[in-house]
Amino acid sequence: MRDPQLISKLKLSPEMFEDENARKFIEYVLDVGKVDLNEIYFKCRNDEDFIPTKTLSEIYNFDIADISYFMRDQSNILNDYVLVESTNKIGEYLKAPDDQALKVLIDEISDLQDLSIEKVNPTDSFLEEIMTNVLSDKPRQFIKTKYSNLDNKILGFERSQLNILAGRPSTGKTAFALNIMWRIAQQGYPTSFFSLETGGTNIGERLISMITNIPLSKIKQSQGLSLDETNKIMDAINQIKKLPGFSIHDGAVITPRDIREQAMQDNDKPHVIFIDYLTLMKSDVPMKERRLEVEKISRDLKIIAKETGCVIIALAQLSRGVESRQDKRPMMSDLRETGGIEQDAHFIFMLYRDDYYDQDLVDNETGKSDIEVNVVKNKDGETGVIQMEFYKKSQRFY
């Protein structure tokens, strides 16, 4: 109140103050964006739910308050808040302890510990990293898909990215994700596949079909397999088992907290996580409106990628609006339920096949489809279409 310009250095939020009047005051000045004594006094006189004028006068004349202690006082208040909140959270956990509640508690305590009023200028560290990359003899590390035409366009994936792979149902999203996952895993990166739509066994069968080039239908029937084919399947299973940090997860309910838990596992290389698919996920904080919930999930995944350094590739369904157009090639606006997805994503890939809409083009003999992988968003530059071949029978992309 004595030094209104200090509002620019106020780093605390209202709930961090024990005193109710202090909370009301901070809430008000943050809402109006300034400290005007006349307006504050006027509000005290006319708003019974606000601070009494007598209390306002006592605060203003508080002798110990000094501008030189402003940042230190904030630090003390924050430390007290963290201690009280941590104690409360632990108390809530002890009332009904279980595995899920423990995960929530760990996240909440971690968030409290990360609170800080100190703001340092990070520019020097960013510039130093750029300088190191430019002067280094080693090429910058990108996680390659090993599809050369695609890598030439996007360079590869990097830490802290949320990427979207979208398409209409049954266009080949899951198969393409598994192809990329396998190629990345073989380079030594820890990889995880979270499947909300398909059971883990089915995902495993599709992966083995892709590795061995044995038709998926034959593997699923598990009959009529030759000795050579059986040996190939066993060899593929052993290859999968030997990969470090390779995992497949299925579950009826998967939330961003499950993704964070996987991303935080210790490893020298960034974790690459696939989610099939994003709009089937549930938020850790359920919301009444599904569109807002999906936007929160997308934002949470972006934060997880940024905080842990992992790479997330989330599959997404496209709306039926595609079907009503003459040219059925998808656009970013076709992403279902939210525009927040296109905002948060670093890369957005969209799949399109002519034979998806024209049955006369379907090749039932070889199972081959010509498919377009359209890079519709690339924060670092080039977009455009990569022509590929998709063999549905063995789930392979070329």
The answer to whether 390 touches 396, Cβ cutoff 8 Å, is yes
Distance CA 166, CA 391 (A): 19
Two tokens, residue 227: 């000795």
Look at the block and give the residue holding tokens 């002067």: 135
Give the pair of three-digit tokens for residue 306.
Answer: 């940024």
81-85: long-range contacts (C-beta < 8 A, 24 or more apart)? 81/15, 81/16, 81/115, 82/112, 82/113, 82/115, 84/18, 85/112
CB neighbour list of residue 334: distance below 8 Å, 6 or more residues apart: 166, 318, 319, 321, 322, 350
The answer to whether residue 197 is catalytic is yes
In the DSSP assignment, the letter for residue 67 is G
Q: Is residue 159 classed as helix, strand or coil in its secondary structure?
A: coil
- Cα 388 → chain centroid: 27
- Determine the Cα–Cα distance for residues 172 and 390; give it in Å rounded to an integer: 8
- Which two tokens mark 202? 């089915």
**Treating both helix axes as pointing N-terminal to C-terminal, what angle do 200-212 and 227-242 enclose, rounded to 10 degrees?**
110
- Both tokens of 331, joined, read 């656009």
**Cα gap 318→128, rounded to integer Å:** 41
- Name 161's bridge partners: 311
Distance (Å) of CA 335 to CA 96, 178, 320, 339, 355: 40, 21, 10, 7, 21
- DSSP-derived pairing of the beta strands 347-353 and 272-276: unpaired
Handedness of CA 263, 265, 268, 269 (dihedral sign): negative
Q: Which of 85, 108, 197, 307 is catalytic?
A: 197
Per-position b or e across 335-348, b if 16+ CB within 10 A of its CB: bbbbebbbebbbbb
Residues identified as active-site? 197
